[in-house]
Chain A
């Protein structure tokens, strides 16, 4: 043992003077412990720390991603909603315009129809009138000829008879004209 200095202390030990055996043992023990800690303990803890850091960072990143995703979806929905609104407005406008058009068309149709009906009535009337006129003209000619022949046939008869003839003619004319006016 390394005891170069011996004081009057009991047992001959001086507490300030190191004992070589203790120094060597202390060093060896320390280095052994150091080896164990360096080899096994520290790397495990460091790995744990790294894992923890990664986990936390990963969690944050994940949350950020989720938030971005949510934001994107929201934007999408908003866009879709706006689109749907625009679509609805467009459809409503279209419908209104179409309705107006239909009304317009119907009105035109009705007008055309009424015009057609009026025209048809007019036409019918014209035709009837023409027919009546034609009939009358034919009748009038025939009766005029008849009258004339009768006038010639009884010219020399007396006035009373003449009058009678004229009356008869007029009656006949009435009788002919009456069914024709119906």
Chain B
């Protein structure tokens, strides 16, 4: 994939946006699409296999699945939504977390090496078409139409004279910005991270193959690429966590009795 970009020649061509839009594998099916489908197969199979025969005292495999579930359930959902309401949202939070996580991690897996979430369409689908409707729906259901609008746009304790300023800001944030930032956050992190890895890897390769004396610097470039890989691993997990955490947080805020 990367070889395609590295045009043989003396001139180093920096990786760019084009590296994220590779030609389709067949028809109009592109690599991220295949990866996306692969991800849900992996996650689904993993959890179904892990929960097929649950034991009170978990084995290693069950323990791994249980840790993921427990993290989403108690670490994210219960923390953000509250012990009273969090139960129905556990599957959603778990799905978001694992879905984003696996698709991010594709960026590190050899051969695959492409974070699906660096295509904004995928995170946007989750944030704009799943999280956004869900939290507003439960909010309207809990507080009523006007009640929910008030609940979301008027922070309690705000003095009356700032309200004309505050209400539009809050509205803009809650109803327009939140789902966008949610998607853009993970998209940008994955896009930038992948681009960084590309730059250092391709630069190392270029220095190694095309330079005269520059060969000496090539290992430095590769070392950076490896170091960045570890950083990326951290960021990938972190972004998945943040996405799930914020989704749960929006739901929690929509459901909260008072701020």
Contact = CB atoms under 8 A, between A and B. Distances in A.
Interface of A: 9-11, 13-27, 29-34, 36-38, 40-42, 44-48, 51-52, 55
B22 to A, nearest CB: 9
B51 A22 contact: no
A10 B20 CA distance: 10
A26 B47 contact: no
A107 B126 CA distance: 113
Q: Is the interface of B mostly helix, strand, loop or mixed?
A: helix
Given A10-B17, A10-B18, A45-B66, 11 more contacts: A23-B124, A24-B125, A25-B122, A31-B130, A37-B95, A38-B91, A38-B95, A41-B91, A42-B69, A45-B51, A46-B87
A26 B54 contact: no
B56 A55 contact: yes
25 contacts: A9-B17, A13-B17, A15-B118, A18-B119, A19-B119, A20-B121, A21-B33, A21-B121, A22-B32, A22-B122, A22-B125, A26-B124, A27-B130, A29-B39, A33-B43, A33-B95, A34-B92, A34-B95, A34-B130, A36-B40, A37-B91, A40-B51, A41-B91, A46-B87, A51-B56
Nearest to B22: A11
Given A23-B125, A37-B95, A45-B54, A32 B40 contact: yes
Contacts of B123: 26
A119 to B, nearest CB: 97
A23 B129 contact: yes
B122 A26 contact: yes
Contacts of A32: 40, 44
A46 B90 CA distance: 10
7 closest residue pairs by CB, A with B: A22-B121, A26-B125, A10-B18, A38-B91, A26-B122, A18-B121, A44-B51
Interface in B1-58: 16-18, 20-21, 28, 32-33, 36-37, 39-40, 43-44, 47-48, 51, 54, 56
A48 B16 contact: no
Interface residues of B, number: 43
A108 B120 CA distance: 122
Interface of B: 16-18, 20-21, 28, 32-33, 36-37, 39-40, 43-44, 47-48, 51, 54, 56, 66, 69, 73, 87, 90-92, 94-95, 98-99, 118-126, 129-130, 187, 191
A169 B54 CA distance: 143
A18 B95 contact: no
Contacts of B129: 23, 27
Nearest to A24: B125
A180 to B, nearest CB: 120
Contacts of B122: 22-23, 25-26
B172 to A, nearest CB: 19
Nearest to A45: B69
Contacts of B66: 45, 48
Nearest to A1: B28
A128 to B, nearest CB: 110
Contacts of A10: 16-18
A16 B119 CA distance: 8
Nearest to B28: A21
Given A19-B119, A21-B28, A40-B48, A11 B17 contact: yes
A52 to B, nearest CB: 6
A26 B91 contact: no
Given A30-B99, A41-B48, A25 B36 contact: yes
A7 B87 CA distance: 45
B48 A36 contact: yes
Contacts of A41: 47-48, 51, 69, 91, 94
A13 B191 CA distance: 14
A14 to B, nearest CB: 8
